[in-house]
A and B are shown apart, each in its own frame.
Chain A
Amino acid sequence: MNKIFEVPLYAYDRSPDQDAPAPVRHKVAVIGAGPVGLAAAIDLAQQGIEVVVLDDNDKVSFGSRAICFAKRPLEILDRLGCGQPMVDKGVQWNLGKVFFDDRQVYDFNLLPEEGHARPAFINLQQYYFEEYMVNRVRELQEQGAPIEIRGRNKVEAIGTHPDHVKLEVETPEGSYTLEADWLIACDGAGSPTRRMLGKDFVGRVFEDNFLIADVIMDADFPTERWFWFDPPFNKGQSALLHKQPDGVWRIDLQLGWDIDKEREKRPENVIPRLKAMLGEDVQFELEWVSIYTFQCRRMEQFRHGRVIFAGDAAHQVSPFGARGANSGLQDTDNLIWKLRLVMEGKAPESLLDSYDMERVHGADENILNSSRSTDFITPKSEMSRILRDAVLDLSEHHEFARPLVNSGRLSVPCTYDGSPLNSADALDGPARTRPGSPCPDAPLGDEFLLPKLADKFTLLTIDADAPDLIEEDGVEVTRLALSVKDDATLALKERYLGDNESGVYLIRPDQHVAARRPSFDEPQIRAAIRRATGKE
């Protein structure tokens, strides 16, 4: 079978840059055509900023890798014009079961909140995710957008200068030099860019190994997430079974620290393990097997002059909670509008330091959550195991213990509390929409709120007057005028007004709240716009 991850999607093609007499200068270069690099490039290109993506490979990711995509990244993908194919193909689930030893201790239904266009999350193989993003790149190219992916273009050296970077790029036909005003490094946890620039990457190593196997089976397992602590088929360790599209199942088996990785990866060793788990009679085929260890760490700073790091290149977490790719998409969502304003001369370069501050905050939250999940799943001392097992035993009998069971806390966007871009909260409104918060979606009849927010700043008015367009020092803010009557379910009122009769929200291009007030006040809103663009 010819899988999508075996087909070159952006094959090497000689670029005119390689024959240019002097290095060609680009606006932005992105290193890495994974989910994060592609998101950065699509975001730039659809806002008219020229971008070239360099990748040392020419195919989408090998094997399923990241499989769980949360609501916020799906909303970001909607803004990038490629959310729908992901949701159409992805598997949605709400039911989870937790097993301990030889028995099920409880099950749970996630019952996501109503009134959101997108589900809490979908399961989708990373290769589909990347394929749909590449499709979006091709679509933008057909529309004449300035975006290019160069396959088998490996960056070998980076020269940093005050106003540009210089890249030495190796190709199958030799090397060439290109320049870019800005460089976004999205080249993964092992980031060669980070290494070439000699930047730190410190954190905690977890001494454990996990076997991931993608198996294709016609088994009659329901579309649920099953997690085992200390199961009979993997004594003293954990296991996870999760469904992906196309009848592919993700199986994670914890192996412990002292193992021979090459040996454990061989099918003759993997298959008996899977049979013990799935039952001797279940017919399956192995699609992909990998063994991984993980670390929780981040760079001290994500921005180094004209080089900006995003995704796993900047921060790495354990896989529990699906906080890798999901947080990487939030990085570029945060970065690109700022970079655009800086490049257009509409904001000071220091605005980019807020990317660093806000996304370091996000990374720390993700590292904290994923470290805690890891500590629960793999207790590090005798007493932590005793307490962990006590929680599991109690969870079978008493509901109170179930929130303590931690097999991964699913990625949710962080609120940028304390960000220098926020204005003081002037509305006694719901906490979930305070300045710094990601805007929660809300239904508007047959439509939804979030798709109505543009790539630019929006002034959301709910039963309040305001001008349709405000321009403050080059930054345009367009009004979205709504009424609580637009949403019969009252979710809009509940999420944005609380007990207030009206509300005015200044919303950033990444759909985070910058300021809110009960009514429009021009000097205050203008000050909030300046503040949100790094001018106050």
Chain B
Amino acid sequence: MDDLILTPNIDGADDFYAELLANHEGLDKADSDVLNARLVLVLANHIGNRAILTQALAAAALKKEV
């Protein structure tokens, strides 16, 4: 069974977070929503694994682990 990584896994966490915010800078709410939607899809495709994606959806919804 593949498990979603829910422990720290990004090198340079602060850098990543700043980059994420920077990409939204100057965008209005609607454009930010669109960007987020595309980002979710791009990342989901990269993960690819259906079981992991289901776990990720549950984790994002702050549900107990499934």
Interface, chain A (partner B; CB < 8 A)? 383, 386-387, 389-391, 393-394, 398, 400-401, 404
Are B41 and A404 within 8 A (Cβ)? yes
Q: Which residues of A contact B38 (CB under 8 A)?
A: 390, 393-394
Are B33 and A401 within 8 A (Cβ)? no
Interface range, B side: under 10
Are A386 and B33 within 8 A (Cβ)? yes
Q: Which residues of B contact A398 (CB under 8 A)?
A: 42
Q: How far is the CB of A12 from chain B (nearest CB, A)?
A: 57
CA A404 – CA B41 in complex, angstroms?
Answer: 10
Pick from B33, B34, B40, B45: contact of A400, CB under 8 Å: B45
Query: For chain B residues 20-43, which have a beta carbon within 8 Å of chain A?
Result: 33-34, 37-38, 40-42
Q: How far is the CB of B39 from chain A (nearest CB, A)?
A: 9
CA A391 – CA B42 in complex, angstroms?
Answer: 9
Q: How far is the CB of A236 from chain B (nearest CB, A)?
A: 15
CA A389 – CA B41 in complex, angstroms?
Answer: 11
Q: In the complex, given contacts A386-B34, A386-B37, A389-B37, what are 20 additional A-B residue pairs having Cβ atoms less than 8 angstroms apart?
A: A383-B33, A387-B37, A387-B41, A389-B34, A390-B34, A390-B37, A390-B38, A390-B40, A390-B41, A391-B41, A393-B34, A394-B38, A394-B41, A394-B42, A398-B42, A400-B42, A400-B45, A401-B41, A401-B45, A404-B41
* 1/0 contact string of B28-66 vs chain A (CB within 8 Å): 000001100110111001000000000000000000000
Q: Which residues of A contact B33 (CB under 8 A)?
A: 383, 386
Going nearest first, the 9 A-B pairs with the smallest beta carbon separation are: A390-B37, A400-B45, A390-B38, A386-B37, A387-B37, A386-B33, A394-B38, A390-B41, A394-B41
Q: List 27 A-B contacts (CB under 8 A).
A: A383-B33, A383-B37, A386-B33, A386-B34, A386-B37, A387-B37, A387-B40, A387-B41, A389-B34, A389-B37, A390-B34, A390-B37, A390-B38, A390-B40, A390-B41, A391-B41, A393-B34, A393-B38, A394-B38, A394-B41, A394-B42, A398-B42, A400-B42, A400-B45, A401-B41, A401-B45, A404-B41
Write the chain B residue with the least CB distance to A389.
B34
Q: Which residues of A contact B40 (CB under 8 A)?
A: 387, 390
Q: Which residues of B contact A386 (CB under 8 A)?
A: 33-34, 37
Most buried by A among B33, B34, B41, B45: B41
CA A277 – CA B42 in complex, angstroms?
Answer: 33
CA A141 – CA B41 in complex, angstroms?
Answer: 58
Most buried by B among A390, A391, A400, A401: A390
CA A86 – CA B28 in complex, angstroms?
Answer: 54
Q: How far is the CB of A399 from chain B (nearest CB, A)?
A: 10
Write the chain A residue with the least CB distance to B39.
A390
Write the chain B residue with the least CB distance to A404.
B41
CA A400 – CA B46 in complex, angstroms?
Answer: 9
CA A387 – CA B44 in complex, angstroms?
Answer: 13
Q: Which residues of B contact A391 (CB under 8 A)?
A: 41
